[in-house]
Amino acid sequence: MGGNWKDQFADAPDVLKRTPEDRSVVWAGAVPIGGDAFVTMAGPCSVETEHQLMETAVRVAAAGARVLRGGAFKPRTSPYAFQGLGLEGLKLLARAGEATGLAVVTEVMSAADAPMVAEYADILQIGSRSMENYALLEAAAKTGRPILLKRGMVATVADLLRSAQCIVSHGNPNVILCERGIRTFETATRNTFDIGAIVVLKEICRLPVIADPSHAAGRRSLVPVLARSAVAAGADGLIVEVHPDPDHAWSDGEQSLTFTEFGTMMADLAPWCELRSCCEYALETVA
């Protein structure tokens, strides 16, 4: 590749680093994302019932999660699949977050719904299918809530940064990027986890970067290992699917961790997260 390879990201100037040490911290309620602490977001793919959500929130909080994830609106490939509880799901998420002290992240699918979702959630998620829905990006930005922007299934890193730039240009600098795997010819996993994208984003971009090993893997047995690789690559956090009974989940059960599996993963990640923090501190001290 000729010339400066960073030139391909030049049309997203507001999200690029101004200095090597430049980085943004995004606050989701009382939770800082992009700082020294590694932040895990966890919960079910879909909000199904109050009992299911509350039980999950209590258990993931006890294991160390800081943010509760859950879909009130679900963009499903099949029109016959469960599409989410909508407003009732949002109310349940807010209730569970308040009861456990967890911040809440949930997906918004349409520009018209953005203000309503912002009433109940601390972070608005823009899903991979919506990454280039610019009307939605603008509406979400204008709510003032932090935005979790997932990389599109066929999007390049430059495409992702352009969408982030769109949000920032509409007055909202609080953007969190998410690598969740891209669609390639490989079929062994649900998507191809682009670990290199995390490394690139951490080098060139000042925004926090998290990883979604659940959607990358598609199988729960692979999730902890991909999570570990994301920590090693320098990610600022994870978003992971957890369910009380994955085999009977209404969506994405095959990639959802049980409570026990999530607890084990969090314990196994602890020394990796500590090492990551030590390495970042050492680099900043040298710089």
- Each residue of 232-267: b (16+ CB within 10 Å) or e? ebbbbbbbbbbbbebeebbbbbbbbbbbebbbebbe
Q: Report pLDDT for 277.
A: 67
The CATH number of the domain holding residue 120 is 3.20.20.70
DSSP 8-state assignment for residue 151: P
Q: Are 99 and 117 in contact (CB under 8 A)?
A: no
- Domain count of the fold of the chain: 1
* Pairing assessment for the beta strands 175-179 and 209-211 based on DSSP bridges: parallel
Mean pLDDT score, 207-212: 98
The answer on pLDDT for 284 being more than 80 is no
The pLDDT > 90 percentage for the chain reads 85
What tens digit of pLDDT does each residue of 142-165 get? 999 999 999 999 999 999 999 999
Give the mean pLDDT of 128-140. 97
In this prediction the pTM is 0.92
Please check the confidence at residue 79 and state whether its pLDDT lies above 70.
no
Model confidence at 166: pLDDT above 80 = yes
For 44-73, the pLDDT digits (tens) are 999 999 999 999 999 999 999 999 999 998
Domain that holds residue 274: 5-73+81-286
pLDDT digits (tens, 9 = 90+) for 245-260: 999 999 889 999 999 9
